[in-house]
Amino acid sequence: MGDGAVKQGFLYLQQQQTFGKKWRRFGASLYGESDCALARLELQEGPEKPRRGEGARKVIRLSDCLRVAEAGGEASSPRDTSAFLLETKERLYLLAAPAAERGDWVQAICLLAFPLPPTRNLL
């Protein structure tokens, strides 16, 4: 997991087409907040292995995230995947991860999007 990524893998994103909706596969990298960057989910379109500078790239700022939840029965995701919703201030994303990894993706996104406030010592 080079480049400081918290989690990497592949996710599918449902996109609106002229005639219906289509799932597209993206290389996904989840980054935590640092001194010079915001926490974010980067989706890189392109070859089987995500590489910098190739294909279209989408960046979802986790500071804009309002909720992350199971998609339930409202979405039929690609084979052997499980769908989840990521809602930001501007848009609702329907994503799908391999079924065995969905819980890990949701948990990792939630930990970065909704960090617990630091505890204060009240003594």
Classify residue 82: in a domain, yes or no. yes
123 in any annotated domain: no
- DSSP E strands in the chain: the ranges are 5-17, 20-31, 40-44, 57-61, 65-70, 81-88, 92-98
When pLDDT is averaged across residues 33-54 and rounded to a whole number, the result is: 77
Q: What is the mean pLDDT of residues 64-80?
A: 87
pLDDT at 93 over 90: yes
Pure H helices in 1-123? 102-113
- Answer whether residue 35 is part of any domain: yes
pLDDT tens, position by position, 3-17 = 689 999 999 999 887
CATH number at residue 42: 2.30.29.30
The domain tally of the chain equals 1
Q: Write out the residue range of the structural domain in which residue 91 sits.
A: 5-113
pTM: 0.83
In a domain, 120, yes or no: no
Residue 27 lies in a domain: yes
Q: Which of 42-46, 91-95, 114-118 has the highest mean pLDDT?
A: 91-95
Q: Is 55 inside any structural domain? A: yes
pLDDT score of 20: 84
